[in-house]
Amino acid sequence: MQYARSSRVSKKWLAIGIGIAALVVTLGVFFGTRSLIPVNGDSPVLLPPENIFIKASHSMAKGYEYISQASGAVKGMRATGAGGAHIDPKYIFNVGSLQSFHIINEDYETHSKHNFNIDEFNVHTKDLGYFETQTIAFLADKKGTYEYYCTIHPEMRGIVEVL
Ligand SMILES: [Cu+2]
């Protein structure tokens, strides 16, 4: 009698446990897949994204600018513009690649808001406040030369080239 009762109780908990596990897996698949949908498409892309880190900043010498946070060589991408005159980094990607841009506002000098846009790939961040960050994935699905820019600071702009 005692045994049968505890067995029923443990079966009930087992069922609840399986239910919770199934929910967790379902949510994980849902959000995992969702995050792979680029902003210029409506179906998931099963490619490993190339991660590009860009900070929006300001310096007395160069004014407002985007600074690439890539250290060393990143496949399919080249950033120029370190030191000297104000040149925002230029990015070169292979056509068909999935790009994940991570934008962070690190404008500690003016605390201005910044955003990041590439019209042709439907890339538009919100206006990011100081130390806010946003990640946007897009598919570099057409060859050409495109401009990225900040709507708040016209001098913040550079080139994305898809080869
Ligand atoms: Cu800006």
- 133-161 per-position pLDDT tens digit: 999 999 999 999 999 999 999 999 999 99
Cα 85 to ligand 1 centre (Å): 18
Backbone angles phi, psi at 72, to 5 degrees: 80, -170
Range of the domain at 120: 50-162
Q: Are residues 20 and 68 in the same domain?
A: no
Q: Return the CA Rg of the chain.
A: 23
Domain count of the fold of the chain: 2
Ion ligand 1: protein residues whose beta carbon lies under 5 Å: 114, 150, 152-153, 156
Q: Are residues 79 and 12 in the same domain?
A: no
The residue-averaged pLDDT of 39-51 equals: 88
Q: Are residues 80 and 10 in the same domain?
A: no
Element (H, E) at 9: helix 2-34
In a domain, 41, yes or no: no
Q: Are residues 68 and 22 in the same domain?
A: no
pLDDT digits (tens, 9 = 90+) for 10-32: 888 888 888 888 888 777 766 66
Q: Are residues 86 and 147 in the same domain?
A: yes
Structure tokens at 95: 């056509």
Look-up: residue for tokens 């005159």?
A: 85
In a domain, 138, yes or no: yes
- Please tell me the number of Cα atoms within 13 Å of 141 on its side-chain side: 12
**pTM of the full predicted structure?**
0.73
